[in-house]
Structure 1
Amino acid sequence: MSKIFSFGFWNTIAGVILRNRTVILVIIGAITIFLAMQWKNMRFSYTEANLLPDHHEINQEYQKFLDQFGEEGNVLLIATNDPTLFTREKFNAWNKLAEKLDSFPEVEYTIGIGELKKLQKFSNPPRFELVPLVKEDQVNQKQASNYKKELFDSLPFYEGLVYSKNTNTVQTAVYIKKDIVNSKRRKIFILDEIVPLIKNFEKEQNIEVHVSGMPYIRTLNSQSIIDEIGLFVGGALLVTSLIFFFFFRSFRATFISMFTVIIGVMWSFGFLGLMHYEITVLTAIIPPLIIVIGIPNCIFLINKYQQEIKNHGNKAKSLQRVITKVGNATLMTNVTTAAGFATFIITESTLLKEFGIVASVNILAIFVLSLLIIPIIYSYMPRPKEKHLKHLGKTWIEGFVDWIQRTVRHRRITIYICSILFLVASIIGIYQIKVSGSLLEDMPKDTGFFQDIQFFEKEFDGILPLEILINTKKKKGVLKLSTLKRMQRLEELLLDIPELSQPVSVVDLVKYSKQAYYNGNPKYYQLPTSQEQNFIFPYIKSLSNGNSNQLDAYVDSTGQYARMTVFMKDVGTEEMEKIEENLWPKIYKIFPKDRYEITMTGRALVFQKGTTYLVKNLVMSLALAIVLIAIFMAWMFRSFRMIIISLVPNLLPLLITAGMMGFLGIPIKPSTILVFSIAFGISVDDTIHFLAKYRQELKAHNWKIKKSVYPALRETTVSMFYTSIVLFFGFSVFMISSFGGTKALGGLVSATLLFAMLSNLLLLPSLLLSLERNIANKKTLKKPHLQILTDGEEMEEEEKEDKEN
C-alpha cells in the first residue's frame, strides 16, 4: 500500500496533470456547470431539525400523536397589550384585522375577539350552539366596553387562549392549514402577506403588535439562515483573501486562490442540490467551511511553487515538484480533516449524517481542485517575477520562530507544568458543563421575532407546545366523568409548575358546557357532578355534530384518546428532565398504568430529547475520529508509540476548550459538540507535517534527535503559523452570526485551533526530545508509509526514474 504514495506514483500524477491541462480544465468546467444546474434542487428546512432517528421511541410517540390530532405547530399568534384597544376605533380595526387574516386561503380559521363564539343552551332538541360574542360589524364605545367586561369577567374558557387576565393582553390565534405548515407556501404566506399586513396595521393604528407561534418562528428563523449563508461566504472570502494577500503580497496568487475556493463553494452548493438535502443551520456553514479549509491548501501549493522558482528558476520542474512533494502531504492532511467530519455519518441522526457526508466529500473535492487548478493556471502564466518572491525572505516571522525554538530548547519543564495546569483547570471546567436542549436558545437574540417570543413567554407563560396524549384504552372513555376528573387533577398538577402555562383540554370545554347550561353564569365554570352529567352530557354530544366539531380539537373520533396542550417556557434539557422526573410519579398516581397510557410529546420536547441523544452519539463520533486518526498515524509511522506522542498534543487543546465552555457557561448542544470533531480533524494536520519533516531530518542527521527536532521545528513553524492564522480568522467569521450556536462554533473552533498550533509547536517537540530514547528513534521511524521527500531524496528518485526511462 505504501507504493501508492511513492515518489514514482506522484511523479506520474504530476505528468498526467501537466500534459492534459486543457482536458482537465474542460472537465472541471463541465462538472461545475452540472453542479450549478443542481442549485435549483436546494431546499431550505421549514421545520426544526429532527435530531432523533425515525425509529426512535420518542419520534414514534410524536408520530402517533400527529396521526391522532394532526400537526400541533400550526398556530400563529398575534397579540397586543395596548390599553386603548377597547376604544371604538381600535376595537373595530382589531376585529377587521382578524377578518382579513381569516380570508386568506392558507388560513383554516382564526380565534379572536370578533370571531369568539359563546356556548348557548337550546332546549328543543336539547343542544348547545355556538353563537357570536360580537354581533355587530362596527361597534360603538359602549358596546366595546361591554364586550371587554364580558370577555374578562364571564368567559374563563378563553383565558390563556384569547386573553391574559393579569395584564389585559389580547391575542388572536390564526390556525394555518396543516398541509402547508411545513412547506414553502408557509414561508411565502408569512413573509409576503402576514408581515406586511401587521406592519401596516401597526402604522395605521399606532398599536404595537407582537407576533409569534411556531410557524412564524420557524419561518423567520429559516430566513435568517438563508440571509447568513451569503454573509458567511462573503465574510470568509474577504477575510481569507486579505490574510492571503498579507502573506504573499501578490494579487495574482490571491486571485488564483480565490478562484479555486469559489469553484469549491459552487460544488458544495451543487452537491447539496444533487443529494436533495435541506439547508439547515449545520449545512449552511459548509460553503464557508470549504473556503476556510481550502485556502491552506492553496498556501502550501503556491508557497512551494515560489520556493522552487527561487531555487532554480525552472517553471516546468517547479510545477512538477509542487504536485509531487506537496500533493502527497496535502492529501494526507485533507483525509484526516475529512475523517473528522465523516465520523458524523455513523450517527443515526439524519441531520448530522447529511452534514458529515457533504462536508467530507467537499473537503476532498477542494483538495482535488487545488491540486489541479493551481498548477495548471500557473503553467499558462509567465514565471513569477522577483517582486512576487519577496515574501519568502520575510524577517518579521523569524522572531516568532526563534521564540518557539528557545522555549522548546530551554523551557521544556515550563511547557510541561503549563500543560498540566491547563489540564487540571480544564477538568474542573468540564465538570461545570451543562447540556442544553433549548429550541430557542440559538435563535438570533436581537431580532424582533425573538423579542416577541419573550413577550409571549411573559404574558402567556410559554410559547413552545407540550402535548400530553391520554389513552383511556376504551372507546368513548374520555367523556366519562371519572376520566375528566382525573384530567382535571392533572391540569391542577401542571398549573403548579411555573415553567408551564395553563393547560387546555376537553375538561375546559366540559366546564364551559356546564356554565352554558346555567345560562352563562361564570361561577358554574366547573365539571358537572354525577347527577348533573345525565342532563348536561346530551348537550355536550351536540358539539361533535354538524359543523362545529368542537370536540375534534381535544378528543379523537373514537373517544378513546384525549390531548392536553400546555405551553412551556424555553427551559433547557436538564431543567425539563427534572420537571419530568418529578411529574411522572404523580401522573401515574392519577392515571394508573394498567388502565391508562400517558404520553408526553410535542415538537419542543422531541428536540430536547434529540439533543441528549445527539450528545451521546457525538461523543461516540469523536471517539471514532480519534481511533481512525490513530490508525492512520499508525499506518504512516508503523509505531504504537508514535500514536501516543501524536495524540497528546491534539487532545489537550480539546480538553482546554471543553474546560473553557464550563467556565464561560457555554452549554453542550448540537452546535458546540461539533467543535471537537472538527477541530481534532484539522489540528492533527500540523502533527502530520511536523512528524513527517522530523523523520526527514532524522535520516539526514544520522538519527540524532536534538539535531533533527530543531531544523524540523524551524521549517514547519512558518507553515503551521500561516495555516493556523488563516483557519483562526476564517472560523472567526462564524462569530458574526446572529445564531448563538453558530457564533459559539466559530469562536470555539478558532480557539481550539490556536491552542492546537501552540501545542504542536511546543509540546510535541518537547515530548520528542524528552522521550528520545524510548520513542523517537531509528527503529520507531524506520519506514513510514508517508513519503514526503527531502530535496536530496527527491534527486535520487529522479535519477532512478531517468535511468529506468
Structure 2
Amino acid sequence: MNFTKKRSFIGLAIALIITLTLGLLQPQVRFDYDFESFFPQESEDLQFYITHRATFENDNDYLLIAVKNQEGIFNQAFLKRVEEVQQQLLDLDKVEGIQSLLTLSQPVISPFGMRRNRVLDPEDVDRFEKQVLAIRDSDTWKDFYSEDETYLLLLLQNEQRIVKEDGDELYEEIQAILEGAFLDSFLTAGKIKAQGAFVTLLQGEFAFFLGIGFLLIVTILFVLFRSVWGVLIPLIVIAFGILWTLAFMLLMGKPLDVMTVMQPIILAVIGVAGLVHFINYYLTYVREGKSHTLAVQAAFSGLVLAVFLTSLTTSLGFLSLYFTQIPTLKYFGLYTGLGVAWMFLSMVLITPALLYLLPPLPAVDRPHIVSFWRKSMRTAFSWVIAHKKSIPWVFGGITLVAVIGLSQLKVNGYILDNLPEGNELMESFLFFDREFGGSKPLELALEKGAAVNSLVTMEALEAIERLEEFIAETYDAGVILSPLTLVKTTNQALNNGSPRAFTIPSRGQINRVNQMIPSISENSPIPLISEDLSKGRISARTSDMGSYTAKRMNAELEAFVQEHISPEILQVRITGTSHLIDISHEAVSKQLAKGLLLAFFLVALIAGILFRSWRIGLIVLIPNLIPLLWLTGMMWVFGIDFKLTTAIVFTVAFGIAVDDSIHFMTKFYLELKKRRSMLYALKRTFLETGKAIILTTVILAAGFGVLTLSQFGVTFYSGLLIASSLIFALIADLILLPVLLLGIRKSWMNLEGKAYS
C-alpha cells in the first residue's frame, strides 16, 4: 500500500466519517457486574440448574443482615426495635420475605386445627425467658445469632433474579432503613450489595486507568521523541482507537464490566508500540536526508504489512478467548480483539495525514545514545553467537523446571476473587462466614428413586438425614433446609410442638405427615419440595473455601452418596450458582488451552505462509511458547493459582509477545533477500530490530505493569503476569531465536529457490 499525501487525506476523511457515525448513534455508557456472566454457558451443569431453579427459585437472591446490640440480642427493647425494622423492610416492593428468630414460628396441630407459635416474641412477657432458653438449648436456631449473642441475623429474600438497577435501588432503600434504626451497628452481605459495590469500584478503576495510562503514554512519547507533536500525534491516534472501540462495544449492547476496565490501557500500550515503529522509521529516513513527504510515505508504505501482521497476531490472541464458555471472558476477548483492529485502523488512517499536515518532527541525533545502543547490541550479539551451543540447554533446563512447576499448580478461585484485601465488602462476607455458618450458597438437587413413591417415605427421609449429617460435618454448613425439615416440623406440630418430636416420624405416622406437608410447605421461607413430592432441594450456606477445596469436598460428597445412598431410593446432584462459578475456574483453564492451541496454529500458519516454510512457522512459536511455560513456573514459585483471573493472561500474552518474533523474522527475511550472508543478515537484524524490540517491550511491560496498581485481582494479576511474559519473550527473542534460526540454514537457503550464503 502506497501512503501518498492524497491517499492519506482520504484515510483521514474516512476516520472522521467513522467518528461522526459512531457519535450520531449516541452510545450510552453503562457499567455492570453480573455474577451469572461467569457461568459456563453451554455446560450441562448450567442447563440442569436452570431447570432446577424453575421449580425451586434462585439460590443466591438473598441479603444477609447482622444487627448488633452490645448488651446482647435477647433484650426485649432491642428486639422490638428490630421488629419495626423488619416490617419496614417487608414493606419494600422487591422484598419477598425475611427469616430471623423474630419471624420464624413452629406449627402446632390439634383437634381444633393448626396454630403457629412464634419462636421468639418480645411482646410475650410471660413466655419470653422460656423462649430464650429453648433457643439456646436447640441447635436448630444457632445460626440465627452469633456465638457471643451480640449479633442477630436477618436473612432477607429479595425478588428472584433481580436486575442490577433494581438491586441497587433496593439496597439503597435497605441501607437507609438500617441507618435510621438507631442500632449499635449492622453489617450486610449478598448479591445485591456485591454487584453495586463492584460497579462503584469499576467506575473508579476505569477513570484511574484512563488517567494513569494517559500520563504513562505522555512520558514515554516525550522521552522518545522530545517534541510536542511527537506526543500529541500518538495521543490523538490512540484516543480515536480507544473511543471507536468503546463506542462500538456499547452500541453492540456490551456494558463496561470488571474485564473491560483493562481495555483502555491495553489498547493504549499496543497503539504506542505500533506508532513507535512507524515514527522511528520516519525519523530514520529524515536523518538519512529524505524530505518530510518522502519520509512519511516510505515509513508507512514499508512498515504497514509488518504492523498489520503484528496487530493480527495480537488480535488472534484476544479472540481465542471467544472460544471459552464464560460470557465475561468471551466478550472481553471478542471486543478487545476487535479493539486491536480499530487501533490499527486509527494508526493507518490518521497518523500519516497528521504527519503530512503538521510541521516535520525533529530528527535530532544524540550521538552518545546511538553509541550506547550500537555498542550494547554488538556485545550482546557476540555473546549469543559465542554461546550458541549452550543457550538451548540453558533454556531447556529452565523450561523443564517450569514444566515441573506447571504440574504442581492447582486450579483455585473464590467467589470474591476480584476484590482487594481489606475491602469493606470482602470483610463483611468474611464476617458472615465466621459468625453465621457462611455467606456462600450450597445447593443440592434431590429426586426420588424408582423404589419409592415420593421423597416423604421412611427410606428417602433416612437417606436425606444421612446426607444432611455429612454436609454439616464436611462443609461446616449453617442453616440446612430440605424436605426433611418440613417433615420434622410437621411431626413436631402433630406432637403439640414438643422439641423432642423434631425428628423423622414413625412408619405409622408417615401417611398422616404426608397429608400435612402441603400446608406446612406453603409457610416455608423457601420452596423445598415439589407439589408431587418427587423432587426437592437441600439449601444451606457455607464459607467461601475456594474452588479447590470445594472440588475436594464435592468429590467426598459424591463418594459418600455412591457408598451410602441407593439411587433407587434417592438421587442427589450438586448444583447452584456457587457450584457453577467453582467449576468455571477449571472449565476456563481447559477451554483456554484449546483456544491457545488454535492461536498457536494460526500464528504458525501465518508465519509459514509469509515465509513459505512450515519449519520457519514452527520456529516462530518456540520463543513464544517458552515464556508461557516460564510464566507457569513463576506462578508456582509465587503461589499464584490458576483461576479465571490468571488463566486468561496466557492467550493475551502470547498474542502480544509474538509481535516481536514476527518483526525480527520479517527484518531477517528482508536482509536475506538482499543476498547477504546468513550470519551478517542475522547481525543486522539483531542490531536494528533488537533495539526496537527492546523499546516496544519496555513500553508494553510498563503499560501492563501499571495494572498492578489495581485493586481488582483480575486486573492486578493480568498486569503482573503479562508484563513478566513480555520480558521472558524478549529474552527468548534476542537470545534463543537467533540460535534457532542458525539451526535451520537450509530452510532459508531453499526459500524462493535462492541460495543465501
- Contact 1:336/1:629 (<8 A) preserved: yes
Q: Report the Cα distance in structure 2 between the residues aligned to 1:400 and 1:195, rounded to whole angstroms.
A: 63
The code of the aligned residue for 1:24 comes to I
Q: CA 1:194/1:301 → structure 2, altered by over 3 Å: closer, same or farther?
A: farther
Secondary structure, in 3 states, of the residue corresponding to 2:568?
coil
Q: Report the Cα distance in structure 2 between the residues aligned to 1:158 and 1:501, rounded to whole angstroms.
A: 10
- Contact 1:52/1:613 (<8 A) preserved: yes
Deviation of 1:673 (Å)? 1.6
The code of the aligned residue for 2:184 comes to N
- Contact 2:147/2:435 (<8 A) preserved: no
The code of the aligned residue for 1:280 comes to D
- Does residue 264 of the first structure (1) align with residue 230 of the second (2)? no
Q: Report the Cα distance in structure 1 between the residues aligned to 2:18 and 2:533, rounded to whole angstroms.
A: 63
Q: Report the Cα distance in structure 1 between the residues aligned to 2:543 and 2:414, rounded to whole angstroms.
A: 10
**Structure-to-structure mapping, 1:373-772, within 5 angstroms:** 373-385=350-362, 394-398=370-374, 400-472=376-448, 477-533=454-510, 538-544=515-521, 549-550=523-524, 553-700=527-674, 702-769=675-742, 771=743
Structure 1: tracts of 5 or more residues without a match? 1-9, 785-805
Give the alignment partner of residue 116 of structure 1, picking from 104, 115, 118: 104
- Contact 1:437/1:609 (<8 A) preserved: no
Aligned residue number for residue 93 of structure 1: 81
Aligned residue number for residue 4 of structure 1: none
Secondary structure, in 3 states, of the residue corresponding to 2:64?
strand
Q: Report the Cα distance in structure 1 between the residues aligned to 2:12 and 2:679, rounded to whole angstroms.
A: 48
Mean Cα displacement is larger for which, 512-521 or 297-306? 512-521
- Does residue 29 of the first structure (1) align with residue 7 of the second (2)? no
Instruction: String of CA shifts for 1:196-248, please: whole Å, max 9, x gaps.
Output: 544555xx4433x2211233233323433343222222222222322222222
The code of the aligned residue for 1:284 comes to V
- Does residue 59 of the first structure (1) align with residue 46 of the second (2)? yes
Q: CA 1:402/1:94 → structure 2, altered by over 3 Å: closer, same or farther?
A: farther
Mean Cα displacement is larger for which, 532-541 or 321-330? 532-541
Q: Report the Cα distance in structure 1 between the residues aligned to 2:241 and 2:16, rounded to whole angstroms.
A: 16
Deviation of 1:727 (Å)? 0.6
The code of the aligned residue for 1:206 comes to D
Give the alignment partner of residue 206 of structure 1, picking from 175, 180, 184: 184
Deviation of 1:80 (Å)? 4.5
Deviation of 1:167 (Å)? 6.2
Mean Cα displacement is larger for which, 586-595 or 624-633? 586-595
Deviation of 1:131 (Å)? 4.7
Deviation of 1:543 (Å)? 2.4
Q: Report the Cα distance in structure 1 between the residues aligned to 2:70 and 2:723, rounded to whole angstroms.
A: 49
- Does residue 780 of the first structure (1) align with residue 754 of the second (2)? no
Deviation of 1:50 (Å)? 3.5
Q: CA 1:97/1:715 → structure 2, altered by over 3 Å: closer, same or farther?
A: same
- Contact 1:51/1:607 (<8 A) preserved: yes
Aligned residue number for residue 79 of structure 1: 66
Aligned residue number for residue 28 of structure 2: 39
Deviation of 1:631 (Å)? 0.5
Give the alignment partner of residue 93 of structure 2, picking from 99, 105, 118: 105
Q: Report the Cα distance in structure 2 between the residues aligned to 1:743 and 1:357, rounded to whole angstroms.
A: 21
Aligned residue number for residue 173 of structure 2: 193
Secondary structure, in 3 states, of the residue corresponding to 1:232?
helix
Instruction: String of CA shifts for 1:349-387, please: whole Å, max 9, x gaps.
Output: 443332232122110110110112111112211223466
Q: Report the Cα distance in structure 2 between the residues aligned to 1:14 and 1:80, rounded to whole angstroms.
A: 72
The code of the aligned residue for 2:620 comes to S
Q: CA 1:205/1:348 → structure 2, altered by over 3 Å: closer, same or farther?
A: closer
- Does residue 171 of the first structure (1) align with residue 153 of the second (2)? yes
Q: CA 1:400/1:103 → structure 2, altered by over 3 Å: closer, same or farther?
A: farther
Secondary structure, in 3 states, of the residue corresponding to 2:116?
strand
Deviation of 1:503 (Å)? 2.1
Deviation of 1:697 (Å)? 2.3
Deviation of 1:748 (Å)? 0.6
The code of the aligned residue for 2:440 comes to L
Secondary structure, in 3 states, of the residue corresponding to 2:596?
helix
Secondary structure, in 3 states, of the residue corresponding to 1:23?
helix
Deviation of 1:143 (Å)? 8.4
- Contact 1:678/1:749 (<8 A) preserved: yes
- Contact 1:499/1:571 (<8 A) preserved: no
- Contact 1:21/1:376 (<8 A) preserved: yes
Q: Report the Cα distance in structure 1 between the residues aligned to 2:525 and 2:197, rounded to whole angstroms.
A: 32
Instruction: String of CA shifts for 1:283-320, please: whole Å, max 9, x gaps.
Output: 33223221121111121122222222332252221221
Say how many residue pairs are matched: 753
Aligned residue number for residue 302 of structure 2: 325
Mean Cα displacement is larger for which, 168-177 or 57-66? 168-177
Deviation of 1:46 (Å)? 2.6
Q: Report the Cα distance in structure 1 between the residues aligned to 2:417 and 2:33, rounded to whole angstroms.
A: 18
- Contact 1:109/1:175 (<8 A) preserved: yes
Q: CA 1:654/1:149 → structure 2, altered by over 3 Å: closer, same or farther?
A: same
Q: CA 1:780/1:113 → structure 2, altered by over 3 Å: closer, same or farther?
A: same
Mean Cα displacement is larger for which, 529-538 or 460-469? 529-538
Q: CA 1:295/1:185 → structure 2, altered by over 3 Å: closer, same or farther?
A: same
Deviation of 1:537 (Å)? 5.4
**TM-score of the superposed pair, with normalisation by structure 2:** 0.92
The code of the aligned residue for 2:593 comes to V
Q: CA 1:558/1:278 → structure 2, altered by over 3 Å: closer, same or farther?
A: farther
Q: Report the Cα distance in structure 2 between the residues aligned to 1:536 and 1:699, rounded to whole angstroms.
A: 90
Mean Cα displacement is larger for which, 58-67 or 258-267? 258-267
- Contact 1:505/1:565 (<8 A) preserved: yes
- Contact 1:220/1:449 (<8 A) preserved: yes
The code of the aligned residue for 2:105 comes to K
- Contact 1:48/1:218 (<8 A) preserved: no
The code of the aligned residue for 1:63 comes to I
Q: CA 1:772/1:586 → structure 2, altered by over 3 Å: closer, same or farther?
A: closer
Secondary structure, in 3 states, of the residue corresponding to 1:367?
helix
Secondary structure, in 3 states, of the residue corresponding to 1:592?
coil
Deviation of 1:400 (Å)? 4.1
Aligned residue number for residue 6 of structure 1: none
Mean Cα displacement is larger for which, 333-342 or 559-568? 559-568
Q: Report the Cα distance in structure 1 between the residues aligned to 2:360 and 2:637, rounded to whole angstroms.
A: 53
Q: Report the Cα distance in structure 2 between the residues aligned to 1:551 and 1:170, rounded to whole angstroms.
A: 18
Deviation of 1:532 (Å)? 4.2
- Contact 1:634/1:640 (<8 A) preserved: yes
Q: Report the Cα distance in structure 2 between the residues aligned to 1:175 and 1:206, rounded to whole angstroms.
A: 23
- Does residue 232 of the first structure (1) align with residue 209 of the second (2)? yes
Mean Cα displacement is larger for which, 632-641 or 548-557? 548-557
Q: Report the Cα distance in structure 2 between the residues aligned to 1:534 and 1:650, rounded to whole angstroms.
A: 69
- Contact 2:102/2:121 (<8 A) preserved: yes
Q: Report the Cα distance in structure 1 between the residues aligned to 2:324 and 2:67, rounded to whole angstroms.
A: 44
Mean Cα displacement is larger for which, 166-175 or 659-668? 166-175
Deviation of 1:725 (Å)? 0.8
The code of the aligned residue for 1:46 comes to D
Secondary structure, in 3 states, of the residue corresponding to 1:471?
strand
**TM-score of the superposed pair, with normalisation by structure 1:** 0.87
Task: Give percent identity, aligned residues only.
Answer: 24
Deviation of 1:664 (Å)? 1.7
Aligned residue number for residue 7 of structure 2: 17
Give the alignment partner of residue 270 of structure 2, picking from 281, 286, 293: 293
